[in-house]
């Protein structure tokens, strides 16, 4: 009788530890997804802020610039045509601008610098977005 009771206690302990392990794994997985979602939302907000500042600079014209606080999570910023894209791993978000953006294609975080530039011909204005201040 004592041996059977010990075996049952061991089986119950093993089952409890297994369930605890599954619970810890699930909570950790949910936490990672929550962090990733928060990072994506922060980067998307930063892209919106950059796009709004770029459109404002475009409308105001030559001599305008902004130093813009952005996400502390590093993200890649690229431009194609009048579209500005922010990517974080496999995830990306885009915004269309009034003027043609020109981005470094580097990882951005902390501060983005934006300024108005005219092309060599002077006919097409563009907005430069960089991790470095103008000059």
Number of domains the chain is built from: 1
> Does residue 20 form part of some domain?
yes
pLDDT at 124: 61
Asked if pLDDT for residue 118 goes beyond 80, the answer is no
E strands, the chain, are 65-69, 75-80, 83-88, 91-96, 100-103, 107-108, 111-118, 125-130
Boundaries of domain holding 113: 2-130
pLDDT tens for residues 49-70? 999 999 999 888 888 888 999 9
Q: ∠ at Cα 108 (101, 43), nearest 5°?
A: 90
Tens of pLDDT, residue by residue over 25-55, are 999 999 999 999 999 999 999 999 999 999 9
Q: Judging by DSSP bridges, how do beta strands 125-130 and 100-103 pair with one another?
A: parallel
DSSP conformation letters of 22-39: HHHHHHHHHHHHHHHHHH
Residue 119 lies in a domain: yes
In a domain, 70, yes or no: yes
Q: Which H or E element spans position 4?
A: helix 2-60
**Is 69 a member of any domain?**
yes
Query: How many beta carbons lie within 10 A of that of residue 63, not counting itself?
Result: 8
Q: Is position 135 within any domain? A: no
Q: Residue 53 domain-assigned?
A: yes
pTM comes to: 0.79
């Amino acid at each position: 009788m004592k041996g059977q009771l010990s075996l049952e206690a061991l089986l119950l302990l093993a089952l409890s530890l297994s369930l605890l392990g599954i619970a810890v794994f699930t909570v950790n997985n949910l936490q990672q997804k929550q962090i990733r979602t928060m990072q994506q939302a922060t980067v998307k907000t930063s892209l919106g802020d950059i796009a709004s500042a770029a459109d404002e600079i475009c409308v105001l014209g030559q001599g305008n610039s902004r130093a813009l606080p952005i996400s502390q999570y590093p993200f890649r910023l690229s431009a194609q045509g009048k579209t500005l894209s922010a990517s974080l791993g496999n995830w990306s978000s885009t915004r269309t601008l009034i003027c043609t953006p020109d981005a470094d294609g580097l990882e951005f975080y902390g501060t983005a610098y934006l300024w108005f530039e005219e092309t060599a011909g002077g006919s097409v204005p563009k907005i430069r977005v960089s991790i470095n201040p103008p000059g």
